[in-house]
Each structure stands twice: as structure tokens, then as C-alpha cells.
Structure 1
């Protein structure tokens, strides 16, 4: 079932009123939101400026859109900014920057530890 939301995955729980829909793929997330908004694949495709067969491929997890199209999907389907990126296997720039900062911090701490060892062993 598609617009009846008979999804069997269990990664992301989205609460809609009193009902929780379990979503684990980008395709499931897009189908779910598209149906909630009463959009067809053709109407969504028109809003995004793509062919409706491409929407079908995305919803069936046969294709992953680029970041630009993901942002458009988030906007048209009322997702929060960056919400679709993890489902598409991508990360936001903010997450990448945070990762770089953590790696840098860990590197600096390791360097400080090594300097302390040198100081005490000298």
C-alpha cells in the first residue's frame, strides 16, 4: 500500500496526530508527505520541475536526488531543513563542520597529551 502508509521499516518514527508512521528510506518519507499533502507524483514533479517518472524512481529508492533537489523536496513537502539529507545518505554542511571540529579537538587533545608525556619523561 502506498498512501495507506503500510510501511514496515523502523528507523524513523514520525508522529502524525496519534498515529506513528515508521520511515527508514527517503522514498518512504517522500511518499508519506506527498500523500499527506494530497499531491500526486505528477503534481509534485511539476512543482519541482522534473519528470514524474523520476519521482517514482526516488520513491521506490531506485534513484537519489542531488542536494539541490533534496532542498526543493524539503520545501515543497514541508520537511524541516536538512531532514531528508540523512535518509539520502548525505550530511548537512553544519554536520560536516561539527565533525571537522570534533576531529580537530581530538587531535589537539592527543597532541597535548603527547607534549605532557615528553615533558615528564625529559
Structure 2
């Protein structure tokens, strides 16, 4: 194809489509973290990671960002039990995965229960 992209044009790629491609990710709407690992359990770096851009314009801070997110998630999982919320009868409230529309999409709020795992975790959180 011949494309004429004027100088200074902002180009946005469709991240959602890239990460929901059923050819690359069968059943893309299902939570299947194993799809991002090789058979030996190591991370498959061949997967597309569009959040940080591509080529010469890739974010130079992507490794710091990924490490920071890893630490934050690890600390959150170490300190808290995260479960579906329960109704008055004690039944789990199903989580419905809805998202905003637009250029930058994010999950809509949902009910869940986030509790410190134990007294020591609660004390640590209070100190922060």
C-alpha cells in the first residue's frame, strides 16, 4: 500500500485489537495468564507489548515501569486477600468486566473485598 502520512501526524495503534487477536490469543476474552509463558515456564518475550510503543520511539523507561509494577503487584498480593464482594446473604457478587470507551480505555469500577492477610500485614499498611 502507498500511505501518505503528513509530517507531524499523530498515529495511534489499536492496542485492544492487538491484544485480543484470536489468531495469536485463542479465546482472547478469557483470563489465561499461561498464554504468556513458554512450555518451560519462562516468560515469552515474543508476545506483543504495545503499552510502551515500538521501534525508535519505544519508551526508554519501560524496564523501570515494568519492574515498578511488578514490585507493586507483588506487595499487594503479599499483604492483601482480594476476593469477590459478598451480598447480605453471603453469596459472592459476580464481577462483570465492563470497560470505558474511547482512545484510552480502562475497567469500570466493580465491587470486591480487599482485606489485610493478617494483623502484621495490617500494621505494616498502617505504618505507610
**Which TM-score band (shorter chain)?**
under 0.3
TM-score under structure 1 length normalisation: 0.25
TM-score under structure 2 length normalisation: 0.24
Q: Which has the larger radius of gyration?
A: 1
